[in-house]
Amino acid sequence: MSAARASEDDYAHCQALVRVADKDRFIATLFAPAERRPHLLALYAFNLEIARIGEIAHEPLAGEIRLQWWHDCLKGGDVAGHPVASALLDSVQRRGLALAPLLDLIDARRFDVYAEPMATLAEFESYVRRTSSALFGMAARLIDETFAADEAADAAGLAYGISGLVSVAAAHAARGRVYVPADVLGRHGAEPGDVLAGRSSSSVTAALDDLIVGAQRQYETFFALAQRVPTPVRAAFLPVATVPLRLRRLRARQDYAQHVVELPPLRRLQAVLRAALFGFPKP
């Protein structure tokens, strides 16, 4: 793969995008080694671009075209005029970041552009691993390519991704999307149509509670593994510090099938900063 070096403006664009749309990760990059920050920001800006395709594409074909464009860029296509693509490919070349997880993340996001419900828990966990866990793993490798981050990244991504998807289940339903696995819903006598209808029944709540329990277990696993994460690499995982806060907020409410559960920005900031200074909060 050959690509022209990205400009300072390309990286500045990535920084501005992440600062606005992913504040947790923007703050986290401030604790990463200075020479690695631009590459982290390029990765996070790419993630934002891919994640928003399912939100802005009104038809599956439009979403597929956008995802295919990114796939072609990573395989050597023309990125001229696209600052995020230019910065990402520059970072891939300069930091030796593997293309496979980037391409797999794009492929996983194809689920976002269709209205088909998530069928099984295994499919759901695979989606979270290929998106959320993969992102933590790539960020860790950008900071220190010698650190074996796979286990920590897997647990971090599952804890962060599952809790996040539960908290925005109502927003997804409003767009005709159901990420709650159909087999988990069926276990409690519910179905995807109940989620789409915004029914806050005991059956839907019980299914969501199952996912919350799973996120809690994954955070416990991550917390144990985090003790061995080198201080510089910790910056890649700092957003996970918001998981206990989100889980407590979800448990305190019983209407999260009908309403998005948001975390106050100041509380999120405090969680990330405390983790950076004192370590991750206990489960």
The Cα 272–Cα 280 span in angstroms is 9
Report pLDDT digits (tens) over 244-263. 999 999 998 877 777 899 99
Report pLDDT digits (tens) over 116-162. 999 999 999 999 999 999 999 999 999 999 999 999 999 999 999 99
The Cα 192–Cα 186 span in angstroms is 9
Please give the model's pTM, rounded to 2 decimal places.
0.95
Contact 240, 159 (CB under 8 A): yes
> Of 190, 168, 169, 184, which Cα lies nearest the Cα of 121?
184
Contact 255, 181 (CB under 8 A): no
Mean pLDDT score of the chain: 94
> Of 32, 91, 95, which Cα lies nearest the Cα of 234?
32
pLDDT of residue 58: 85
- 3: pLDDT strictly greater than 60: no
pLDDT of residue 1: 46
The Cα 134–Cα 129 span in angstroms is 6
For the chain, which domains are there?
A: 7-114 (1.10.600.10), 115-283 (1.10.600.10)
